[in-house]
Amino acid sequence: MARVIADFLIHNTSELLTCAGPAPRRGRAQADAGSIAHGVVASEQGAIVFVGPESDWERQGRLAEDATVVDALGW
């Protein structure tokens, strides 16, 4: 399996909320949010390349040498 490469990463979250599915969501459809405990968001050149649990990122992801990493400090 090829590893995902990212130049921007947000990690160490307590919970990550997602809006999986068709977009845009309006009104009551916004209430259908997904939740990922200890989630990670990673992007490459401004495009999201990974959203998921931090444990999955550790197996599947890799940071570019000059990556920006944001520690959410458990928020």
User: Which CATH class name applies to 4-25+32-71?
Assistant: mainly beta
Query: In the prediction, which pLDDT does 4 show?
Result: 95
Residue owning tokens 């940071």: 63
Higher-pLDDT residue of 6 and 33 is 6
Mean pLDDT value across the chain: 90
Residue 21 has pLDDT above 70, yes or no: no
Q: pLDDT (tens digit, 9 = 90+) per residue, 23-41?
A: 777 777 777 778 899 999 9
- When pLDDT is cut at 50, 70 and 90, the band that residue 11 belongs to is very high
In a 13 Å sphere around the CA of 65, the CA atoms on its Cβ side amount to 0
